[in-house]
Amino acid sequence: MSAPIAFDIIVIGAGPAGQKAAVQGAKAGKRVALIERERGIGGSCVYRGTIPSKTLRESALQLDRLKRAGGAFEFSLKPDTQISTLLGRLEDVVKTHDDFMSKQLRRNGIALFHGRARFVSDRIVEMQAVDGAVQQFTAGCIVIATGSRPGNPSDIPVDHEHILDSDSLLSMIYLPRSLAIIGGGVIGCEYASIFALLGVHVTLIDRAPAPLQFMDQELVRQFIESFEQQGGHYLGSRTVKEVRWDGAAHVVTTLGDGVAIKSEKLLVALGRQANVEDLNLGAAGLMVTIKGTLAVNQYCQTEVPHIYAVGDMVGAPALASKAMEQGRRAVRHALNMPVGDAASTIPLGIYTIPEMASIGLDEKAAKERYREPLIGRAKFEEVARAQISGSGHGLLKMIADPAGERLLGVQIVGDQATELVHVGQSALQQGATIESFIDNVFNFPTYAEAYRVAALDILGQAAKRQTAAAA
Ligand SMILES: Cc1cc2nc3c(=O)[nH]c(=O)nc-3n(C[C@H](O)[C@H](O)[C@H](O)COP(=O)(O)OP(=O)(O)OC[C@H]3O[C@@H](n4cnc5c(N)ncnc54)[C@H](O)[C@@H]3O)c2cc1C
Ligand SMILES: NC(=O)c1ccc[n+]([C@@H]2O[C@H](COP(=O)([O-])OP(=O)(O)OC[C@H]3O[C@@H](n4cnc5c(N)ncnc54)[C@H](O)[C@@H]3O)[C@@H](O)[C@H]2O)c1
């Protein structure tokens, strides 16, 4: 075998985390090798995750708008609608993304290699290409960004035809008449609401009483209400005893209480598992944690200081935005460049229908820390833009300190929530006062006006509190 090719930085995996790590290294003038086992670049984000699911969601929303605007005509999807029809734009979206990323890698002089990478030692990585050719690389800094895949339990026979996971769900040819989903986390809830809006009979099952346990439950209740209005069913506090394909037309999911749910397809959405098995981590002196991830410090440095691990493979939250930021930070740290404070408040955006978003403290966390925080609410019914768009219910919650002076967090459910949350994010970063939302003029009509309504609610409550204290 030829001698290892020397680079300054080797990045393994070209998903969002690996791409940003590679670009940061190249921008700092370093020679970077990026190794990706698949033909395309972009990782699960582009091919099996964020982008396909959000493209399907967009089609569902467009159909829903047509239905609501129609009024004068009957509108329904054909019973044999092919999923590919609903994902029509996906190919273009993926191609545009791929072209853009490839150009960015070329422009920055990043050497892209296609093959499966594994460690030979803590400084040597070996790559096997699809044609079997083996090449070694060496570098003073190595970034592992190999992402994650669905973590399917061994007792559920995922066959990718009738019993699917998030990697295989969109390979269904036809829109099913019924879909059961095990797991009311982000993936389960997003797909549940998309398919329900498309007219599929959806049953969402979780062991917890309500889905999305980490979100403000007032928001989650609005989501469930809307999901049930679309014909969906949520079955909480349920365990799954057995899942089987009946060999004819249905998947039968038997719950702990004996209830059997028959559905044409079943989606298993029970969390993610880091891609570590191929890497031969022991050769680099690394061991995985009990959760199957790599332990890292705040700079994403592993216990071997020149090896960094970023993105999904270091564990929750599994977000493309977090993955990119970790890639960039890790390389800056490795190169002794200023890293800045870790973004203490990463926004969370959940693309359910209606969407949900969160930044900073929610009501529960604020009560634990401040005992009596003030909570301002703006119902979307009070906001002209939401009335005009006919987008239904929504709620923006603003969390403030007990004096009603400082913003601590924002939680939103409703149309545009994942965009609106960034107003709260920048206000939080600047330490904005609640009053500043009144002093500033907002465009009219906009959803952002909800911030003003919620701020007025807080100031009203603060004034009452002051009067009561003075009495
Ligand atoms: C259905 C779904 C919807 C999602 N929606 C959102 C969303 O709306 N917003 C959001 O922020 N996040 C979303 N996510 C999460 C997001 O996709 C991930 O957090 C993100 O892709 C993680 O990026 P990553 O770079 O860590 O890993 P990945 O994107 O998984 O990329 C890892 C790359 O490493 C490669 N690789 C693995 N092993 C090797 C090896 N040995 N050698 C070479 N290459 C290797 C893989 O082929 C892959 O290309 C969603 C995920 C799913 C599944
Ligand atoms: N918009 C976004 O940012 C976005 C979108 C999709 C996915 N993601 C990421 O992908 C990751 C994985 O998502 P996920 O939804 O697969 O997992 P998850 O960990 O978010 O949720 C898993 C759910 O399954 C339930 N569960 C676990 N075991 C169970 C059992 N035996 N029976 C019944 N219910 C059970 C849990 O209570 C939980 O609600 C998340 O970390 C998420 O951040 C993000």
pLDDT (tens digit, 9 = 90+) per residue, 122-177?
999 999 999 999 999 999 999 999 999 999 999 999 999 999 999 999 999 999 99
Q: Do 261 and 324 have their domain in common?
A: no
Give the residue from 221, 243, 267 where a domain finishes. 267
Residue 97, pLDDT above cutoff 90: no
Q: Do 301 and 326 have their domain in common?
A: yes
CATH number of the CATH domain containing 384: 3.30.390.30
Quick one: pLDDT band at residue 403, thresholds 50, 70, 90? Answer: very high
Is residue 54 a known part of a binding site? Answer: yes
Which residues have any ligand 2 atom within 6 Å of their CB? 182-188, 190, 206-208, 211, 239-240, 269-272, 316-319, 349-351
Query: Residue 301 has what pLDDT?
Result: 97
All residues at 6 or more sequence positions from 305 whose CB lies less than 8 Å from its CB, including other chains: none
Which residues have any ligand 1 atom within 6 Å of their CB? 12-18, 35-38, 43-45, 49-50, 53-54, 116-117, 145-148, 166, 187, 275, 278-279, 311-312, 318-321, 323, 351
For residue 330, being part of any structural domain is answered with yes
Maximum Cα–Cα distance across the chain = 86
Q: Do 321 and 290 have their domain in common?
A: yes
For residue 226, being part of any structural domain is answered with yes
Residue 415, pLDDT above cutoff 90: yes
Taking each helix axis as running N to C, give the angle between helix 217-229 and helix 186-197, from 0 to 180 degrees, rounded to the nearest 10.
Answer: 30
CATH number of the CATH domain containing 45: 3.50.50.60
User: Looking at 151-231, which runs of residues are DSSP E strands?
Assistant: 163-165, 178-182, 201-205
Q: Do 392 and 444 have their domain in common?
A: yes
Q: How far apart are CA 97 and CA 92, in angstroms?
A: 8
Q: Do 135 and 172 have their domain in common?
A: no
Q: What is the pTM of this model?
A: 0.95
Question: H/E element holding 357?
Answer: strand 356-360
Q: Do 23 and 143 have their domain in common?
A: yes
Q: Do 359 and 308 have their domain in common?
A: no
For residue 71, being part of any structural domain is answered with no
Is residue 183 a known part of a binding site? Answer: yes
All residues at 6 or more sequence positions from 60 whose CB lies less than 8 Å from its CB, including other chains: 86, 194, 197, 198, 353
DSSP 8-state symbol, 443: P
Q: Do 198 and 126 have their domain in common?
A: no
Q: Do 282 and 167 have their domain in common?
A: no
Q: Do 283 and 262 have their domain in common?
A: no
Q: Which two tokens stand for residue 354?
A: 């209606």
144 in Cβ contact with 313 (< 8 Å): yes
Query: Which range of residues forms the domain containing residue 15?
Result: 5-51+87-150+273-335
For residue 377, being part of any structural domain is answered with yes
Q: How far apart are CA 1 and CA 9, in angstroms?
A: 21
Give the residue from 267, 282, 316 where a domain finishes. 267
Q: Do 131 and 115 have their domain in common?
A: yes
Residue 155: CA count within 13 A, CB half-sphere: 8
DSSP 8-state symbol, 317: S
For residue 183, being part of any structural domain is answered with yes
Query: Residue 342 has what pLDDT?
Result: 65
Structural domain total, the chain: 3
pLDDT (tens digit, 9 = 90+) per residue, 266-300?
999 999 999 999 999 999 999 999 999 999 999 99
Q: Do 247 and 383 have their domain in common?
A: no
Quick one: pLDDT band at residue 412, thresholds 50, 70, 90? Answer: very high
For residue 380, being part of any structural domain is answered with yes
Is residue 171 a known part of a binding site? Answer: no
Query: Residue 143 has what pLDDT?
Result: 98
Query: Residue 74 has what pLDDT?
Result: 67
AA letter at 140: G
Q: How far apart are CA 236 and CA 211, in angstroms?
A: 7
Query: Residue 70 has what pLDDT?
Result: 62
pLDDT (tens digit, 9 = 90+) per residue, 57-85?
999 998 888 877 766 666 677 778 888 88
All residues at 6 or more sequence positions from 149 whose CB lies less than 8 Å from its CB, including other chains: 44, 167, 272, 273, 275
Give the residue from 232, 267, 302 where a domain finishes. 267
ipTM over 0.90: yes
